């Protein structure tokens, strides 16, 4: 039997009815059954029932307006961003908060005796096929963000602390919170006690104004309760890496379907696995949102579909690489931290370039894993240095230095028929790149050069170093950049694609990749000003930087003796 969850409209309509019927006097005893009459009066005198909240996932802003209208509500003209719910979702689903554009609508509802209150509607737009779909499915099933809220009248620190203590005395546990600068309000969340007699399991105290001193104490209690669980989840990150690698290696993404469910027994027979253990793996993957499971079997989610072998820009090679040789060398991370030397070299007795060159299967996997992130490259096709060729009479030439299997160069040549290409790579890679570009019908527009960085050819109009400099220490980077500078004519452009470290300690994929590069490759990620210094040492000038998907950046450089345009 398939589990069917209420639609967003049904969930919102139920919330509206609840808000219209309840008030603080009747609702607080349901949430905190142990309250005596004096305690109830103390709370009712200091706060009022303000709203009930629900998180919904419309496919478009227009669909959100339709859902609200179907429930007799109107959308706010200018909804506020939800910092608190956004950050909670990001932490719960291990996503970058910047990817979660959560907004709050607060349509008004009339309660008993004409009292005014609202329904708090958190909305995260999830278009069809979006990789946010697993988040929507998980949240609809569990309703983590559903809560009832009480607004504190004339809040001061003493009143807030007293109310928090009273809720705690009756079994309500600190469950996070935050300060929203967009509306100058402080939110304190609690988990209702197990004895609560309402379907809502979370309580919010909302205090207008900045009360971050009280919030800090509240969050300390929350962290103390969750710190061991949080640490356990962090410790088991390696299990996730291996679960995804095995999922990809068994080609389960290619066997599963996004709509029709497949039983565990049928999957086990198809991929040659033990049914009981496979069922455990699939339960774990369902928790991650990679598959969806019910009594009928298992389906592939949009997130899991990225691991299909035939998916555009499939991430399957990355899963196999991170779960294979790089997983083994990360087990020796301690060697890198103690000595500063790559753990890969220590474990395998040679650097990864030489090791992969001697093992053709690994070399092919590595090149495919590099191409797996090629979705990062799409905006690069519109970079001014690339599109400039439309305005000049002669064909322009793009030189892709250490261009791997030609995935990036292929995108550029396909997007711009006026371009010609040169791919410089190691001899054993050049033939693979030739096959890739020939298959794409680009064989007549691309030349191939087997060699090293010292062989960067002159005559190019655009030179590309895509995820190359992070493989090397500063001295080697300067050497590579000098080879580029010598080859570049006065009007040539150099485009460097890397993940750039933030200037502060804000979360970033570049920070994770910095550790990976040091452990497995012997390189490192860098800040933009660090790259600018390396370029200057080579006679080049950084003239612009542009963000790319997957937290990439394209750094635009030109010769220092050339008049410098700038780009954003």
- DSSP label of 67: H
Distance from C-alpha of 493 to C-alpha of 460, rounded to nearest angstrom: 9
Buried b (16+ CB within 10 A) or exposed e, 33-51: eebeeebbebbeebbbbbb
Query: Hey, which residues are catalytic here?
Result: 470
Hey, is 335 helix, strand or coil?
helix
Could you tell me if 513 and 502 are in contact, meaning their C-beta atoms sit under 8 angstroms apart?
Answer: no
Token readout for 323 is 């779960």
Token readout for 449 is 């050069």
Please name the residue that has the structure tokens 């033990």. 274
CB hemisphere CA count around 338 (13 angstroms): 6
Could you tell me if 385 and 462 are in contact, meaning their C-beta atoms sit under 8 angstroms apart?
Answer: yes
SS3 content of the chain, % helix, strand, coil (to 5): 50, 20, 30
- DSSP label of 100: -
Token readout for 492 is 């040539």
Distance from C-alpha of 310 to C-alpha of 254, rounded to nearest angstrom: 8
The two beta strands, 297-300 and 291-294, are antiparallel
Computed over its alpha carbons, how large is the radius of gyration of the chain?
Answer: 28
Using CB atoms within 10 A of its CB, is residue 134 exposed (0-12), middle (13-18) or buried (19+)?
A: buried
Q: How far is CA 507 from the centre of its chain?
A: 11
Give me the DSSP letters along 374-412: GGGGGGGGG-HHHHGGGGSSSPEEEEEET-TTSHHHHHH
Q: Which of 124, 118, 69, 84 is nearest to 101 (CA)?
A: 124
Q: Which of 107, 110, 115, 147 is nearest to 17 (CA)?
A: 110
Token readout for 315 is 């991430």
The two beta strands, 291-294 and 446-450, are unpaired
Which residues neighbour 353 within 8 Å (Cβ) at sequence distance 6 or greater? 426
């Amino acid at each position: 039997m398939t589990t069917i969850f209420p639609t967003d409209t049904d969930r919102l309509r139920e919330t509206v009815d609840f808000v219209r019927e309840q008030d603080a006097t009747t609702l607080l005893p349901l949430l905190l059954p142990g309250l005596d009459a004096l305690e109830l009066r103390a709370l009712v005198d200091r706060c009022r029932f303000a709203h009930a909240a629900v998180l919904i996932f419309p496919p478009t802003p227009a669909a959100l307006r339709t859902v609200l209208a179907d429930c007799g509500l109107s959308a706010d003209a200018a909804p506020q961003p939800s910092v608190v719910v956004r950050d909670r979702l990001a932490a719960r689903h291990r996503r970058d908060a910047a990817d979660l554009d959560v907004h709050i609508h607060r349509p008004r509802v009339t309660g008993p005796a004409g009292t005014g209150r609202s329904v708090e509607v958190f909305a995260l737009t999830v278009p069809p096929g979006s990789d946010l779909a697993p988040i929507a499915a998980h949240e609809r099933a569990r309703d983590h963000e559903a809560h009832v809220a009480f607004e504190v009248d004339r809040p001061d620190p003493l009143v807030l602390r007293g109310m928090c203590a009273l809720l705690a005395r009756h079994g309500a546990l600190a469950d996070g919170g935050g300060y929203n600068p967009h509306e100058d309000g402080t939110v304190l969340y609690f988990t209702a006690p197990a004895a609560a007699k309402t379907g809502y399991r979370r309580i919010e105290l909302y205090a207008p104004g900045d009360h971050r001193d009280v919030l800090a104490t509240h969050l300390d209690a929350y962290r103390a309760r969750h710190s061991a669980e949080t640490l356990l989840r962090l410790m088991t990150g390696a299990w996730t890496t291996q679960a995804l690698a095995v999922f990809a290696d068994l080609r389960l993404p290619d066997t599963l379907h996004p709509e029709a469910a497949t039983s565990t027994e049928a999957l086990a027979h198809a991929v040659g696995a033990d049914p009981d253990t496979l069922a455990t793996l699939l339960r774990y993957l369902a928790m991650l949102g990679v598959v969806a499971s019910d009594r009928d079997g298992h389906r592939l989610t949009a997130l899991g579909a990225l691991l299909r072998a035939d998916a555009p820009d499939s991430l399957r090679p990355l899963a196999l690489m991170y779960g294979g040789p790089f997983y083994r060398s990360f087990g020796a991370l301690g060697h890198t931290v103690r000595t500063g030397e790559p753990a890969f070299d220590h474990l395998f007795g040679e650097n990864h370039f030489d090791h992969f060159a001697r093992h053709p299967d690994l070399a092919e996997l590595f090149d495919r894993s590099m191409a797996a992130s090629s979705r990062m490259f799409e905006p690069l096709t519109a970079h001014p240095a690339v599109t400039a060729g439309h305005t000049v009479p002669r064909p322009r030439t793009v030189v892709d230095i250490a261009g791997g299997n030609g995935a990036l160069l292929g995108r550029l040549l396909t997007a711009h028929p006026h371009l010609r290409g040169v791919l410089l790579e190691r001899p054993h890679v050049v033939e693979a790149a030739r096959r890739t570009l020939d298959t794409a019908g680009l064989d007549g527009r691309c030349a191939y050069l087997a060699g090293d960085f010292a062989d960067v050819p002159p005559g190019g109009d655009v030179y590309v170093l895509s995820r190359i400099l992070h493989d090397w220490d500063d001295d080697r980077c300067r050497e590579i950049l000098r080879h580029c500078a010598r080859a570049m004519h006065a009007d040539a452009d150099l485009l460097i694609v890397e993940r750039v470290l933030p200037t502060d300690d804000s979360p970033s994929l570049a920070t994770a990749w910095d550790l990976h590069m040091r452990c497995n490759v012997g390189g490192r990620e860098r800040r933009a000003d660090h790259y600018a210094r390396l370029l200057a040492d080579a006679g080049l000038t950084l003239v612009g930087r542009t963000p790319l998907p997957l937290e990439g950046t394209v750094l635009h450089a030109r010769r220092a003796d050339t008049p410098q345009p700038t780009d954003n």
